[in-house]
A = this chain, B = another copy of it.
Amino acid sequence: MRVEIWSDIACPWCYVGKARFEKALAAFPHREQVEVVHRSFELDPGRAKGDVQPVITMLTKKYGMSAQQAQAGEENLGTQAAAEGLEYRTRDRDHGNTFDMHRLLHFAKERGRQDELIQLLYRANFAEERSVFTEGDERLVELAIEAGLDADAARAVLADPAAYADDVRADEREAAQLGANGVPFFVLDRAYGVSGAQPAEVFAQALTQAWGDRSPLKLIDDGGAEACGPDGCAVPQH
């Protein structure tokens, strides 16, 4: 079974939701047969690369909240994150463009290091004092190295704005086609969807339901064909 998770590094509920999903997955009897893939989704795709703001400022300007409302939201997120054993800085975090992080995550996927990198990006953005947005490519290269990627290769990906850009855009188009207008968004075997940072119990239910519901394949042209099996390579009679 395959679970695809659309998310953004700048999305607090994605950070929390991933932990809740992983709690359910760890207890799922068929977890060894579950493959997890991360898909790109930008919450703020129109923001220019260098346009970085404090989270509270962004929330007040973009959504017209009061600073108090914005701060209360952050405190709530901090509480929810702590309940999942996650660190979450409720003050002085930055918000910025995440397109390069998504490009790097696609590179990491090709190298089998995607889950390692997304976890490090989340931690860097939500739990660490250093901003993940203001230090340029070298901060992301550091995280790529920590995820087990080659420094020069990661640097080359970041330096070339076209590298993996199509992969990010393709993920975003697919999210729209699947009806996801917010993240995190979980898709199980392209049959079941779970929207949002649901409780672990809901993910457990989704895993069980999708697993039980796997249907037999519909065979196209079941008339027999040229194939090899334990009894040799035959040309069956149609």
Contacts and interface: CB of A to CB of B under 8 A. Distances in A.
A217 B190 contact: yes
Contacts of A209: 220
A216 B190 CA distance: 8
Stoichiometry, copies per complex: 2
B206 A191 contact: no
A66 interface: no
A13 B233 contact: yes
Interface stretch (A86-94, A120-128, A135-143, A177-185): A177-185
Contacts of A217: 178-179, 187, 190-193
B179 A197 contact: no
Contacts of A80: 226
What range describes how many residues of A lie at the interface?
A: 35 or more
A32 interface: yes
A182 B219 CA distance: 14
A6 B190 CA distance: 20
Contact of A191 (B14, B73, B215): B215
B190 A189 contact: yes
Interface of A: 2, 8, 10-14, 16-17, 32-33, 43, 59, 62-63, 65, 73, 76-77, 80, 109-112, 170, 174, 178-179, 181-185, 187, 189-198, 202, 205-206, 209, 214-222, 224-233, 235-236
Which 4 A-B pairs give the minimum distances between C-beta atoms? Answer: A196-B225, A110-B112, A182-B229, A193-B217
